[in-house]
Structure 1
Amino acid sequence: MSDPARPTPTGFHEGELAVQRLAGVTKDAARLSGMLAPARLRGGASGFLGERTFAAVTARDATGTLWISPLTGPPGFLHVASPTALDVRAVPAEGDPLHGLPADQPAGLIVVEFAARRRLRINGTLTASDADGLRVDVEQMYGNCPQHIRPRRLRPARAAGAAQVRRAAALDADDTALVRGADTFLIGTAHPTRGNDASHRGGPAGFVRVEDGGLWWPDYEGNNMFNTLGNLRADPTAALVFFDFAAGRTLHLSGRAEVEWGAPGAPGDDGGTGRRVRFTPRRVVAGRLLPLLADGPAAPAPAGPRPAR
């Protein structure tokens, strides 16, 4: 449970600052530090949340393993209970690695509207978790730019459920094909004192490579805050979830990730940043667990990097 007597930390933590220095964007990032101030759920943010049907949460299961899992429901399933509390009237599906996740732990949320290419990040403490939903005491909230979001419309569907879930320690051929065909995934990371974070990653199909049982992807230019890479600098624990939006399949991975720095423009450096993230999966959960399906093919992606072959 969060301690009301303890002030919420503000500003960038040491991992974010270190990555910003390495990327040479310290001054640019400093101008955004006000976005990390304690949040109040009001006005436009409250309206945006109330209309959404898709979110994802980064948290730990009962064994302490970090995962990121989708949360879906009709408009209104994300309910602003107070300026500092968000009720989620949904839980991860049966068979999802975060089904039955324990309360009293850090939680990171990302709320995405794919069709309009909008997203909002919320970080705080999961103070309640039961069969009816979750409550998050909100500490940080800020929007991210729309770049790299592939526009698509999603409609409600029925997930196949836990009976068709596969749990393993490594990717199989179907998992590899899903990753190699993906234009979207979500990543969950953690910081020892700042809590958990959920973030979106997108690019052209094929931007995530699979090699020797692991994954890597180029890091594209973003808002220069480096929340995800900063967390990985402090703690390499990471969780990924990939989606097959046509079939309702999800691929959950939990493992470790590291940021590799090289010369901009090297082979595979699609975004020209000289950065890539390499991920080693340790646990795999795969199945038809997404209760949403794409209503037709995704719209063409906005102009952006193309994977180098």
Structure 2
Amino acid sequence: MLRCIAAALLIVPSIAAADVIDVSNAAPYPDLFAPDSAPAERRDLVLLGDDMVEIAVALGAADRILARPADIDLPGLEDTPHVVRDWAGVEGIVAMRPGLVIGSNQRFETLLAGLERVGVETDLIDRILPAPEKVRRLAAHLGLAERGEALIAEIESAYTQAETVTRDDGAPLRILHASKQGAGGNFSAGGAQTAVDNLIARVGALNAAAEIGRDRYRPVTPEGMILMAPDVVIISEAELPAFGDIGGVWQDYPGLALTPAGRQERLIVMREMHVRNDAASSGIATVALSEALSEMFE
């Protein structure tokens, strides 16, 4: 079966080769407000989600953040008093004396329900929601509705700047987010119901993993990778060390070298937050990917 699929790939229309394109130096989020410019009487906000943190900082509310996820790299968070691990419990959160706890992942539902039972205000702003809706809801909680609308306008304006790049035959490009997170440390690909799926759609391309029925981040096999047949691979700059170097992406990732992207070594390196979160940087990420594709194929 694998041999037949590999042979079939040889008839895929060709696209001009290009070097690796690194857009990981794109701005982390829109520079509309200084990270600590919003009024803050005290730090009382616990955010359980990188996307929520990015939005809060972009709204200028960094000084309200009492606790946030440990592994997030954004300017403006240097003075956050606490970090929260995925296994945080009700007692640990309550001990911080938060005024508001907001999560963006369904896995925090039990924790949020427990906090509500002891009188802590909570909300779940699902990470799969469009970025503008997440911004609007968090801004309302923070009393920053006007800033929220300004940030939404900036995001949506950026969306309109993204140009669609197609294959030589006019078909949409097939893009794959290659990862080693979200599948027990195994090689995985970002499918439907992920931020990268939304990102790929905004540049007029197809998510190669979603096209064969994959959702979230699932382990991949060589056969599955060949069926995905990506024209381009996206990787987060934070994950490059896990592959050793750029060459390791093609050598170690199962089946990737046999795909159109692998044969031409077409790789786009992006910021971790831009790939994994639909948040304040959503518009910036969309433009960065669109421009990288234009440079690669035109």
Q: Mark yes or no: TM-score above 0.5.
A: no
Higher helix share: 2
Ranked by relative contact order (alpha carbons within 8 Å, sequence separation 6 or more), the top structure is 2
TM-score by length of 2: 0.24
Higher strand share: 1
